[in-house]
Each structure stands twice: as C-alpha cells, then as structure tokens.
Amino acid sequence: MQSASTKDLWIILASFIISALTIPIFGRLAYRYGIVDKPDGELKPHERITPYLGGLSIYLGVLFVTPFEFVTKIALTVLVLLGLYDDAKNSDPNVRLITEFVIASVLVYKYVGLSLLFPLYAVLIVALVNAVNMMDGLDGVCASVSAISAIGLFIVATSRYDKVLLLSLVGALFGYLLYNFPPARIFMGDAGSYLIGGVLSVGLLSSIRNGSSNLPYVVSAFIFLSLFFFDLGAGVLRRVLNGRSPFSGDRGHFYDKIQSKTENKRYTLFVVVFIQFALFTIGMIAKQNAMLSLLAVLMLLVMYYFISKWLKILKY
C-alpha cells in the first residue's frame, strides 16, 4: 500500500506531465486563432507576440488528476471559460464581475455555509481571483508565487479532496513554468489566472471552514496568500492617491518595481520567489499555535513595511 506522501508525489507528477505535454498544442492553437498577447511597450512590455492558452494546460492538469466533485469542478470550469472568453474577445467587465461573485458565493456556501460573514467571504474570494490575475504581469511570477502558496495551503487544508486539488495545481504550474520561465514562450492568460484564483480560494475556504477552533491555520492561510492581497491593495491605493481610477492598469506592481531595480526578468523572479519563501516560512510559524500566530503577524507587518519603503510602493 502506498503511503500518503507517495500518492502526493504521483499527483504532482501526473499533473506536471499533462500540463507540460499539452502546452505546445495549445500554443499552436493560440497562434492559429489569434489568441495572443501583442507587446505595446507600456502595459505589455514583452519583446514578442506571445500565445495565451497556457492556462488550459494547467486546467487539464488539475481536471484529470483530481476526483470529480460537482460543485467545485463546475465552479472552476466556469472561471476558466470566463477567462478564456476574455482572452479571445475581451468580455464586459460588469459581466465578468457578476460571474465572479456568483462563483464566489457558490464556493463560500459550499465550504462555510450561510453566516453574517458570507458577504465578506464572497468579496474576499473575488478579490483573490482578481489579485492572482494582476500578479500575472511578468514571466514566471504568478506561477511561482501561486505554486508556493498552494503548497502552504495544502498543509492547512481540512479535507483530502482540497489537498489533492492544491497538489494538482502545483504539478500543473511546474509544467507550465517550463515554458513561462523568462523569457516566456507562452502566457497562462485570464483562463489560467482565474483557475488559479479559484483553486487557491478553495484552499483558503478549506482552512476557514472550522472557524475559530482552527485560528492558527486560518492566519497561516492568509499569510501564504498575503503577497496577492498586498499587491492588489497597494495597486488600488497607489492609483487613488495619484488621482487615477482604481480599476486602471499600470506597471507599478511590486514585481515591476523590483524589475526596475534589477533590470533583469530572471533576477526579478528570483527576488519574488525569495520573498514568497520568506512568507511561506512565516506562515508555517503562524500555524503552530495562537501565540506564534500573533508573532507571525507582527513579522509579516514588519516585512511588508520594509518592502513598501524599499520599492516606494505607493509612488509611480
């Protein structure tokens, strides 16, 4: 009989293989049907036309490796289709936001049920999905941060199905990184970032499910995901303080500011991964007990304070 750790490795390996083998196929399809990202020198500073649809390979890696669970699989599939349509046609932002809230509500109801905090949880999930989407602006960054976050959430998830889902995402992201490591040969597109946001949301809700009795795990889960929320919050605040729409795009994300210092995409990715590993370590400290959770939160605040000062995060 295989041990749990051996089964976990097989899950990662299977999703890795599916993702890595199917990406070239989706890359060719993206070129054929014009589902590509064209550089514009501003919001899209990459050097050449790059295909989307890498996210569909990540989706297949997750879909075929995890057991079928109707609500979760349908919710994730709708997110992928929403992102795919946006990649191909640019969907209406209002329709996209409404759909995100519907999916978020379904997942929140499934995992934590109805409560006074239901609207807050739904907003939190929508914010996470969009934060992951915003993180996908530089080669390798979103996939790397997401993979490390998923490993952390795997540790604090409260059901075997949720753990398998997170592990399958890790494997699929590793397969995708073979092609998205700088200089990227394919992008995940909104289909991929929405899927990742959905799976990470499941991990977060899984940690929340047992409520206050599970507080260190909840704190830990938020720390694992904190870089997404930090980048989203800093982006919105920066735009508002500079008289811009909070929904407008810019190149002021934390990874853009790191790249302006390193002037090298690979070095930037390594710095981001180092930061995320530091957050992973703080999250593991928080998971131990309530007192260490408090200490971890203080460490987190200090870390983000120095990152903000170093990068001048609220300035352009």
Q: DSSP state, 253?
A: S
Q: What are phi and psi of 36, to 5 degrees?
A: -135, 160
Looking at residue 41, its pLDDT comes to 59
pLDDT of residue 87: 92
The DSSP annotation for 43-59 comes to S---SS-EE--HHHHHH
Largest CA distance in the chain: 61
**C-alpha count within 13 angstroms, C-beta hemisphere, residue 168:** 22
H or E segment at 73?
A: helix 70-89
Distance CA 250, CA 146 (A): 21
pLDDT value of residue 44: 65
Binding residues: 133, 190
Residues belonging to the binding site for Mg(2+) are 133, 190
Q: What is the rounded end-to-end Cα distance, in angstroms, of the chain?
A: 57
Contact 166, 153 (CB under 8 A): yes
> Quick one: pLDDT at residue 43?
62
Give me Rg for the CA atoms of the chain: 19
Q: What is the pLDDT along the chain (316 residues), one digit of tens a residue?
A: 566 788 999 999 999 999 999 999 999 999 999 999 887 656 666 568 999 999 999 999 999 999 989 999 999 999 999 999 999 988 888 999 999 999 999 999 999 999 899 999 999 999 999 999 999 999 999 999 999 999 999 999 999 999 999 999 999 999 999 999 999 999 999 999 999 999 999 999 999 987 667 899 999 999 999 999 999 999 999 998 888 877 777 888 999 999 999 999 999 999 999 999 999 999 999 999 999 999 999 999 999 999 999 999 988 7
pTM of the shown model: 0.95
CB 175 within 8 A of CB 19: yes
